[in-house]
Amino acid sequence: MSVQPFLIAAAGLFSIGIYGILVRRNVVMVLLSIELILNAVNINFVVFDAMLGDALLQGQIFTIFIITIAAAEVGIGLAIVLMLFRNRKTANIDEFDLMKW
């Protein structure tokens, strides 16, 4: 199989994730879209690993790490969302614009 479809799919996933970040109003939805992006990157890594036939399987190792870190990040992210919700009673990302001029 050619590599290219996989790469294009990963790129598509990536851009869909970007779209999601830019468009979604709920903070949790934004975090969801971030997961999409990370997933796209995972696909890329594994595809390259398959392409290269690496003896050290670096692509897959790295993918494992990414997944781990993503999980940690989601944990922290949702804790922060929790705090935000407690303080502001809303999860609308447009409401959190205190850091403006």
Partner 1 sequence: MEALDIISYFLLLSLLLVAAKVVTTSNVIHAAISLVFTLAITAGTFLLLSAEFVALVIVLVYIGAVIVLFLFGIMITRAPLGQNAELDNDKNKGLALAVSLSIFGIFSYVMLNTFDSQINTTSGTSTELLGEILLSRFVFPFEVVSFVLLAALIGGITIARQDNALIDENQI
Partner 2 sequence: MVTSNLISFLAEGKATYTDGGAAAEYTWLIVVLPFIAALLITFVGKYLPLKGAEIALATIGFIFAFSSYLLYLNVTEGVASEFFVNVGSIGSFDLEFGWVVDGLSIMMYFVVGTVASLVFIYATNYMKGEIRYTFFFTSLTLFAGSMLVLVSSPTLLQLLIGWELVGVCSYLLIGHYWENKDNSSAAMKAFITNKIADIGLMIGIIVLALSTGTMRISEILYQSTHDYESLKSVAYLAGVLLFIGAMGKSAQFPLHVWLPDAMAGPTPVSALMHAATMVTAGVYLLARMFPFYEGMANQALDVVLLFGVITLFAAGLIAIVQDDLKKVLAYSTVSQLGYMVAAIGSGAYTAALFHLWTHAFFKALLFLGAGSVIHAVHTNSMKEMGGLRKEMPRTYITFILGTIALAGLPPLAGFFSKDEILASLSHGGYSAYFSIAVAGAFITAFYMTRAVVLTFFGEYRGNGHPHESDSMMTTPLIILAGFAIAAGWVNIPGVYTGFTDWVTTRKTPIVEYHPESFDYFALGSGLLAGLTGIVLAYYVYQILGRPEEGDQKIKVEPIWNLLENKYYLDDFYFKFIVNPTKSTLANLIDRFNTNILDRTVNMFGVAASYLGNIVYEKFDQGGIDKALNISSASTEALGARVKLLQTGKAQQYIMYFLSGVIVISLLILLVL
Decide: is 56 part of the binding site for partner 1 (CB under 8 A).
yes
87: partner contacted, choices partner 1, partner 2, none (Cβ within 5-8 A by kind): none
State yes or no: residue 22 binds partner 2 (CB under 8 A).
Answer: yes
Given 1, 53, 55, 94, the residue binding partner 2 (CB under 8 A): 94
Q: For residues 71 and 61, what is the distance between their CA atoms, to the nearest angstrom?
A: 16
In angstroms, the CA 41 to CA 10 distance is 7
Q: Is residue 99 part of the contact set for partner 2 (CB under 8 A)?
A: yes
Q: Counting contacts by CB under 8 A, is residue 27 touching partner 1?
A: yes
Half-sphere exposure of 57 (CA within 13 A, CB side): 5
Tokens of 32: 């969801």
